[in-house]
């Protein structure tokens, strides 16, 4: 048991050590470490004007919302069916609470026209 | 890496060439597509050899230097300012020399460290208001503007693209694009114009006629990313052979939705324009198409530059790139903006003859 633990510690330690070595001596792996001008993004010769940090609209979010609302719900309901046989009313109330919270998301998705067929 | 085994193996591969297409050199660069010894790559990051073809004005040294630095090591520069002559041999020899280590990789031309520090107003150097404001590394942060699709206030990112984006890109075209997410909301032709590829004197390089429909099809296929199809198209001996590829080429742009890149001038979208170019390239006399009044020729050349802002707004970058390539912007007349004086400002480095 102890030897297995020692082996695990040794393995973890060596991974961390190698990681740190790579972090501090990147030139070992890549002798031609790029300079600032070599790291610039490729724009066909033009200079970078604006910082790349920007926010953009994630347009697939209604689909994600619908997926979580319906798919995740089913993932919980299958094991719940087993629990319901044992627990009865208590489990039914708990599932009711879960579905109530989830339905808020569905109503929001409805408002965002996520359920509209396009 | 002198004499390393991997270097010798890599030297035997086709020379990965990224071209900087200057004045009058476009045809010669396009011809390289058909050569097995040359691999005309999509970006400087893929390349070993930087080909400076044609006349590139001194004023554009900043652009060429930036592209040069974007080639990974080992890299080498080949100049071909005038008649290319045995250009392919030069490129292959340069590739071989730098891969085997007989020629050293060229050092970077730009600064090694950022010329402007990270600087903001916050205690940790961050920007002004929340994520916005401040000028980290001398670059302003994106600010919000109204979105084209639903009027939300979203960040506007300004990106300047060109003048040497790829072999299929109109040489010298410098575009200022503003993106919101994946969409171009505003496009402007910046203070430059496509280099004239149609020299009147033609004393240095070939190319005295505007791009043929077949050449525009080749460039558009390059922009789509179907380079092998472009090579097969280029290898066709004549209109009859080309018509065998017509269906395949139409299918290569079939993924673009109808109306993409549509212009009121010729009444065609990207796909219809491509179909028309293919049709013109597969008839026997492509240079003199009979164009009745109800069937105008596809929008192209100098007239198209002025329409770029309208054409590109609302497109994604990929759609925009293919639309630009389908316009055949090899110009002989000045376009909008102030062009660098190409005639007497030929790059001093470009004057070195190859070999």
Tell whether B162 lies on the interface with A, counting CB pairs under 8 A.
yes
The answer to whether the CB of B158 falls within 8 A of the CB of B184 is no
| pLDDT for position A118 | 62
Q: Mutate one of B51, B160, B195 to test the A interface: name it (highest A CB count within 10 A).
A: B160
- Average pLDDT of the segment spanning A55-70: 83
Q: How many CB pairs under 8 A join A and B?
A: 115
More confidently predicted of B289 and A86: A86
- Pairing outcome for strands B153-161 and B38-40: unpaired
pLDDT over threshold 70, residue B134: no
**Mean pLDDT score of chain B, rounded to an integer?**
79
- Cβ–Cβ gap B137/A47 under 8 Å: no
Residue of B nearest to A40 (CA): B70
Give pLDDT tens digits for B218-260. Answer: 999 999 999 999 999 998 888 888 888 999 999 999 999 998 9
The answer to whether the CB of B304 falls within 8 A of the CB of B337 is no
Write phi, then psi, for A17 (nearest 5 degrees). -65, -45
- Average pLDDT of the segment spanning B128-152: 72
| pLDDT for position B331 | 59
The answer to whether the CB of B268 falls within 8 A of the CB of B262 is yes
| pLDDT for position B319 | 95
- Provide the pLDDT confidence category of residue B341 given band limits of 50, 70 and 90: very low
Give pLDDT tens digits for B29-77. Answer: 988 998 999 999 999 999 999 999 888 888 888 999 999 999 998 999 9
- Average pLDDT of the segment spanning B93-114: 91
Report CA torsion sign: B92, B97, B98, B103: negative
Select the residue of B155, B163, B182 nearest A55 (Cβ to Cβ).
Answer: B155
| pLDDT for position B206 | 43
Report CA torsion sign: B245, B247, B248, B249: positive
The answer to whether the CB of A47 falls within 8 A of the CB of A76 is no
The answer to whether the CB of B207 falls within 8 A of the CB of B185 is no
Tell whether A25 lies on the interface with B, counting CB pairs under 8 A.
no
Give pLDDT tens digits for A17-53. Answer: 998 888 777 666 665 568 888 888 899 988 887 777 7
- Average pLDDT of the segment spanning B87-111: 92
CB within 8 A of B60, min separation 6: which ones? A45, B163, B340, B347
pLDDT over threshold 70, residue B209: no
Q: How far is B286 from chain A (nearest CA, A)?
A: 32
Tell whether B119 lies on the interface with A, counting CB pairs under 8 A.
no
| pLDDT for position A29 | 64
- Average pLDDT of the segment spanning B96-124: 82
| CB atoms inside a 10 Å sphere around CB A76 | 12
Written as six digits, the tokens of B251 are 């299918």
d(CA B48, CA B276): 37
Select the residue of A37, A48, A55 nearest B139 (Cβ to Cβ).
Answer: A48
d(CA B173, CA B22): 11
| pLDDT for position B350 | 35
pLDDT over threshold 70, residue B94: yes
Question: What's the farthest any 2 CA atoms get from each other in chain A?
Answer: 70
Q: CA-CA distances (angstroms) from residue B275 to B231, B232, B268, B271?
A: 18, 17, 10, 6
Residue reference for tokens 């109808």: B258
């Amino acid at each position: 048991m102890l030897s297995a633990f020692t082996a695990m510690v040794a393995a973890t330690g060596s991974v961390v050590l190698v990681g740190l070595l790579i972090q501090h001596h990147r030139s070992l792996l890549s002798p031609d470490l790029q300079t600032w001008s070599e790291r610039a993004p490729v724009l066909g010769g033009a200079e970078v004007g604006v910082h790349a940090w920007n926010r953009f609209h994630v347009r697939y979010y209604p689909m994600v919302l619908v997926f979580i609302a319906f798919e995740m719900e089913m993932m919980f309901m299958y094991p719940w069916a087993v629990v319901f046989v044992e627990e009865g009313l208590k489990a039914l109330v708990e599932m009711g609470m879960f579905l109530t919270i989830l339905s808020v998301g569905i109503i929001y998705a409805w408002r965002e026209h996520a359920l509209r067929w396009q | 890496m002198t004499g390393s085994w991997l270097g010798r193996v890599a030297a035997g591969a086709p020379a990965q060439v990224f071209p900087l297409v200057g004045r009058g050199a476009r045809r010669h660069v396009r011809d390289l597509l058909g050569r097995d010894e040359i691999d005309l790559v999509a970006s400087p990051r893929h390349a070993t050899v930087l080909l400076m073809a044609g006349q590139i004005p001194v004023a554009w040294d900043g652009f060429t230097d930036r592209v040069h630095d974007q080639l990974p090591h080992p890299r080498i520069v080949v100049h071909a300012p005038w008649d290319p002559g045995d250009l392919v041999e030069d490129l292959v020899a340069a590739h071989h020399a730098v891969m085997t280590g007989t020629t050293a990789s060229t050092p970077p031309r730009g600064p090694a460290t950022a010329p402007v520090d990270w600087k903001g107003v916050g205690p940790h150097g961050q920007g002004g208001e929340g994520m916005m404001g401040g000028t980290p590394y001398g670059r302003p942060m994106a600010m919000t503007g109204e979105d084209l699709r639903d009027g939300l206030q979203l960040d506007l990112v300004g990106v300047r693209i060109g003048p040497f984006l790829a072999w299929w890109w109109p040489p010298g075209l410098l575009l200022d694009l503003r993106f919101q997410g994946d969409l171009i909301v505003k496009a402007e032709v910046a203070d430059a114009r496509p280099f004239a590829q149609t020299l009147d004197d033609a004393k240095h390089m070939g190319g005295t006629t505007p791009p043929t429909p077949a050449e525009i099809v080749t460039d558009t296929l390059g922009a789509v990313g179907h380079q092998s199809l472009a090579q097969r198209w280029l290898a066709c001996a004549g209109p009859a052979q080309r018509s065998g590829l017509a269906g395949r080429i139409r299918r290569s742009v079939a993924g673009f939705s109808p109306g993409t890149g549509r212009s009121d001038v010729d009444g065609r979208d990207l796909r219809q324009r491509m179909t028309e170019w293919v049709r013109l390239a597969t008839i026997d006399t492509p240079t003199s198409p009979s164009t009745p009044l109800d069937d105008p020729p596809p929008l192209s050349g100098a007239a198209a530059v002025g329409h770029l802002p309208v054409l590109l707004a609302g497109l994604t970058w990929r759609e925009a790139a293919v639309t630009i390539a389908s316009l055949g912007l090899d110009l002989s007349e000045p376009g909008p903006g102030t062009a660098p004086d190409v005639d007497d400002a030929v790059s001093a480095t470009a004057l070195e003859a190859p070999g």
